[in-house]
Chain A
Amino acid sequence: MRTAKRVTLVALCAAALTLAGCPTVRMPELMDASRTTAANPGNYPLKVHLRSGDLLVLSGWSDLPGDSGLVGRGSRYDVRRRPIGLFSGRIARDSIALLEMTRGQVAYPVGSVVLGVYTVLAGATTIACLADPKSCFGSCPTFYLDEAQDRPVAEGFSGSVARALEATDVDYLAAARARGRTFAITMRNEALETHAVRSVRLLVAARPDGGSVVAASDGRMYAASEPTAPARCESRDGDCGALVSRRDGHAWFSRADSTDLGASDSIDLVFPALGDPAALVVTARQSLASTYVFYQSLAYAGSRAGEILAAVERQGASAFGGAWTLMHRLGSVEVLLRSTDGTWLPVGAFGEPGPIAADRQAVRLGSVAAGPVRLRLRFARGAWRFDELGLVALGSLVRPIALDPARVERNGVADALALTRLRDPDRYLVTDRGDQYRIVFDLPTDGENLEFFLESTGYYYEWMRPEWLREENPAMLALIAVNPAAALRAMAPGYARLEPRFEELFWASRFGGR
């Protein structure tokens, strides 16, 4: 909705600029000397062509009684059109050869529309990027399907910002469809980062009849029924049912609290009874709040960022525990089940690092009493975008087949070295910004009845940027370390200023071969 508003605003802006920049075309119209001059409309002077060849340009005029001529004032020009002085007085009708009036008509050339739109877009992008260059850059490896090169379907190990934090990330590829026995996905480095990718594997499982395979937050996969939409969905802003009833890219989200990024928000859901065992399937991605907090923390660290990351390498996340507390506060969704006595019991959590691609995970509900299932999602306000919330009946445990890459292509040419590195668990494929690899997998059966998950393992390093050094702030760094909640409050106003346009800037500024 906000994107639509901004698009409308830019379009209006461009339209207004186009209209403002369109030229007025002067259309001369000749009148016989005997015609009355009262017919001359508009704001243009009246031109009186005299029989001598001279010209009078009158700013004010009127007809003389008896049609004997005109009286007016203005300027006089000779045949060479040199001004020969001001004129004020009578003009006999028989000395006039022709009268010329001018009509103004605004022209709307297509070129002005093109230049108007281009100027507004170029200006808006430039000013926005100049105002906040940091917001123009994203993070982590992104993955694209061949048939959808404009939107990533998964992002790998977004939380692994140091070697010590290397992790394996599994993403459900909801939009993936394969015909035949091969499947391809393109991995890109679109940010100012160095990515170390240990492995990229495709997990495949047969799609159960009338359902799908879901990855649960406990790391296992289950056969599941098709999701049942909530009968009721209540948020602080009202009914959210329409936006979360199916996975369609139209997500429910809230604005962050401008005084506290850690402020709590919740959604209450009511589902019809489904029986045990059941799970809540959540399809969601983070907003850019966590990205902002992460980058801002690096900026506050400034010249000490390298020292802190080195400490993280040696000691793990505990070396800078406050930062991880911030990220955890923003990066998890707590799921609570209402018990028969009316209390809310935590049953699990949903978490998917990164704001780029939505992931789907199932949160098992444990034992559910008879009757409607009432759930509450608790999360940081403005930190999440929920695309689908559904209840599924869980079936048997599924053991997917893990496939290593069969081929790797770079710029359309087979890259044996990259293939070797992605298949060797002891080595990394290191990528720089702008790099992209098309990874091809051979499927064990025809792909039409398979479900696909992408498993990526690795870590990455952010490149320190000069403007972050300018924001070095030891006091804020200390606050993050000792009082993460207070740090989230301190960072809230800065994010609130950026939030309305953060998404579009982020998507408009990624590096890569698109």
Chain B
Amino acid sequence: MRELEMVLALAFGVAGGLRAQATDRQVDVTGRAIVLRMARGAPQDIRGELLAVRRDSIWVLARGPERIVAVRLGDVLEATVRRHGLTAAGGILWGLSVGAASGVGLAVACSQVSDGCGGVAVGSTLLGGAFGSIAALSYQYSSRWRFRPVTEVKLAPFARFPQGPPPGGFDVLLRPTRDSVVVRP
């Protein structure tokens, strides 16, 4: 039973960390992360923080360089909004970590009774990666809400300014860096 208690303690400890990572205790003061898939041959998806949605426009604070992108709502084919923090990458990382940790433990156990146990750790890590990949497929879908067609009513609750753009506009949000670019609608 001692081993079971150890397993339980380990499992719940890790689970607690996972949940803490996935669940923000504090309420967001910014908008949710959003990806806009554009229709009509737009060059690429638009990613960033959802600032506001108003009638036929949607504003996103995009990074690298930091800029405000405004697009017509009608040009957005699909919008995905972050739902929880368990991402596909996180799932793979989790699986690999458990597999690697288990592999190291098994390799240590194996090395006490045999030579050439290096493959145990590698095999266990790959197995963990396989489970992580399965989980990643799941997280890929469950970690986001998908909206299609995109409407103001659906997206507004996830915006930094659900009531619409603030009185002074969005320029104040941009940091005064030399490479900042403002894209206006």
Please indicate the chain A residues that have their CB under 8 angstroms from the CB of B48 in the complex. Answer: none
Given A53-B168, A109-B86, A118-B131: A44 and B11 interface contact (C-beta under 8 Å): no
What 1/0 mask marks residues of chain A from 153 to 189 whose CB sits below 8 Å from any chain B CB? 0000000000000000000000000000000000000
Which of chain A's residues 63-80 have a Cβ closer than 8 Å to chain B? 77, 79-80
Q: How far is the CB of B152 from chain A (nearest CB, A)?
A: 11
Cα distance, A100 to B29, chains bound together (Å)? 11
Residue in B85, B94, B101, B109 whose beta carbon sits within 8 Å of that of A115 in the complex: B94
Which of chain B's residues 6-21 have a Cβ closer than 8 Å to chain A? 6-8, 10-12, 14-16, 18-19
Which of chain B's residues 121-163 have a Cβ closer than 8 Å to chain A? 124, 128, 131-132, 134-139, 142-143, 156-158, 160-163
What 1/0 mask marks residues of chain A from 445 to 465 whose CB sits below 8 Å from any chain B CB? 000000000000000000101
B183 in contact (CB, < 8 A): no
Please indicate the chain B residues that have their CB under 8 angstroms from the CB of A49 in the complex. Answer: 161-163
Please indicate the chain A residues that have their CB under 8 angstroms from the CB of B109 in the complex. Answer: 126, 129-130, 133, 136
Cα distance, A119 to B105, chains bound together (Å)? 13
Residue in A16, A109, A115, A116 whose beta carbon sits within 8 Å of that of B132 in the complex: A115
Please indicate the chain A residues that have their CB under 8 angstroms from the CB of B128 in the complex. Answer: 118, 122
Q: Is the CB of A17 within 8 A of B15?
A: yes
Q: Is the CB of B105 within 8 A of A17?
A: no
Q: Is the CB of B99 within 8 A of A122?
A: yes
Which of chain A's residues 22-49 have a Cβ closer than 8 Å to chain B? 22-26, 28-30, 44-45, 47, 49
Cα distance, A30 to B161, chains bound together (Å)? 11
Q: Is the CB of B162 within 8 A of A100?
A: yes
Q: Is the CB of B162 within 8 A of A30?
A: yes
Q: How far is the CB of B66 from chain A (nearest CB, A)?
A: 12
Please indicate the chain A residues that have their CB under 8 angstroms from the CB of B30 in the complex. Answer: 81
Residue in B27, B139, B160 whose beta carbon sits within 8 Å of that of A44 in the complex: B27
Residue in A9, A24, A28, A79 whose beta carbon sits within 8 Å of that of B158 in the complex: A28
Please indicate the chain B residues that have their CB under 8 angstroms from the CB of A465 in the complex. Answer: 112-114
Q: How far is the CB of B14 from chain A (nearest CB, A)?
A: 7
A92 in contact (CB, < 8 A): no
Q: Is the CB of A53 within 8 A of B166?
A: yes
Q: Is the CB of B113 within 8 A of A466?
A: yes
Which of chain B's residues 46-62 have a Cβ closer than 8 Å to chain A? none
17 further A-B contacts with Cβ under 8 Å, apart from A21-B18, A23-B84, are: A17-B12, A20-B11, A20-B15, A30-B162, A51-B163, A52-B167, A57-B27, A97-B163, A109-B143, A114-B135, A120-B11, A123-B10, A124-B7, A130-B105, A130-B108, A136-B109, A463-B114
Instruction: Offer 11 A-B interface pairs, CB within 8 angstroms, sorted by A.
Output: A17-B15, A20-B11, A21-B14, A23-B22, A53-B166, A77-B29, A98-B163, A100-B157, A107-B84, A123-B7, A125-B102
- Which A residues contact B (CB, under 8 angstroms)? 9, 13, 16-17, 20-26, 28-30, 44-45, 47, 49, 51-53, 55, 57, 77, 79-81, 97-98, 100, 102, 107, 109-112, 114-116, 118-120, 122-131, 133-134, 136-137, 192, 463, 465-467, 501
- Which B residues contact A (CB, under 8 angstroms)? 3-4, 6-8, 10-12, 14-16, 18-19, 22-24, 27-30, 83-86, 91, 94-95, 98-99, 101-102, 105-106, 108-114, 124, 128, 131-132, 134-139, 142-143, 156-158, 160-163, 166-168, 172-173
Q: Which 4 A-B pairs have the closest CB atoms?
A: A53-B166, A111-B135, A111-B138, A23-B22
